[in-house]
A and B are shown apart, each in its own frame.
Chain A
């Protein structure tokens, strides 16, 4: 993360068109892509739960979606700040990518309402897994929306012709994304370990009572 910040500050050149404000790109896009990865990972774990009844897959799916929602909220906030500088508004309802990302975020935010409205047990795990799997269908829609709908508001950096930026910018972006994945991976394992420990302690308390 320190390397990524150093590269953003000292190595990546300023964008000729947007100037300094383009530096938000190095956090905003990796955070958005990491949110997609988290939702995808949560859906994959949900599938493993339904398909193989793998123990712990439900908890892993829950933690991944929890991380995804945090990173999704950060995507919306950093994107909104960037929009304010670039477009002069905090939000543009006419941008399909923005609206579809918001739909994806709200869909996964509702996951928690569903999960905690059902008593703990196999029913909760099954419903959560099915919901996580449905949500994953929104990821390609959200990702491809800008390309399919010719959205002129939200910029498209990654096209079929490759990344539309200089080598130094692309290198900085890659390091930032790697740092973000490393961060989310670490947070995922820490949160998962905490939740597993919590459930084992509850079990132990019941045994000792």
Chain B
């Protein structure tokens, strides 16, 4: 592999790795948001059960 080939490969790898890291960060954030949605759904469900329960 020539020096030029190494540098060209490095340039393309940097771009690829950056996009990959970005997508990974976004996907981790989506996982967190999904977990939060599940927590809030549980919270809303518990509240509905509490409100529907007879007082006293």
Shortest Cβ gap from B24 to chain A (Å): 12
* Interface size of A as a range: 20 to 34
Chain B, residues 14-48, CB within 8 Å of chain A (1/0): the string is 11001100100010011001001100100110010
Q: When chains A and B are docked, how far (Å) is the Cα of A146 from the Cα of B13? A: 28
Q: When chains A and B are docked, how far (Å) is the Cα of A19 from the Cα of B42? A: 61
Asked if B53 CB lies within 8 Å of chain A CBs, one says no
| Highest count of chain A CB atoms <10 Å: which of B3, B12, B22 | B12
**Contact between B4 and A20, CB atoms less than 8 A apart:** yes
- The verdict on A27 contacting B47 (CB below 8 Å), with A85-B4, A204-B40 known, is no
Q: Which A residue's beta carbon lies closest to that of B43?
A: A208
**Contact between B47 and A208, CB atoms less than 8 A apart:** yes
Chain A, residues 73-85, CB within 8 Å of chain B (1/0): the string is 1100110011011
Q: Which B residue's beta carbon lies closest to that of A183?
A: B19
**Contact between B11 and A78, CB atoms less than 8 A apart:** yes
Asked if A28 CB lies within 8 Å of chain B CBs, one says yes
Task: Identify which of B7, B44, B47 contacts A21 (C-beta below 8 A).
Answer: B7
- The verdict on A77 contacting B14 (CB below 8 Å), with A201-B37, A201-B40 known, is yes
Contacts of A21 in B (CB 8 A): 4, 7-8
Q: When chains A and B are docked, how far (Å) is the Cα of A27 from the Cα of B8? A: 10
Shortest Cβ gap from B50 to chain A (Å): 12
Contacts of A198 in B (CB 8 A): 29, 33
Contacts of A137 in B (CB 8 A): none
A187-B26, A197-B33 known; 9 new pairs, CB 8 Å cut-off, are: A20-B2, A20-B4, A20-B8, A23-B8, A74-B18, A81-B7, A190-B26, A198-B33, A201-B33
Pull 9 A–B residue pairs with CB atoms less than 8 Å apart, ordered by A.
Answer: A24-B7, A24-B12, A28-B11, A74-B14, A183-B19, A198-B29, A201-B33, A205-B36, A208-B44
The residues of A with any CB-CB pair to B shorter than 8 Å are 19-21, 23-24, 27-28, 31, 70, 73-74, 77-78, 81-82, 84-85, 183, 187, 190-191, 194, 197-198, 201, 204-205, 208
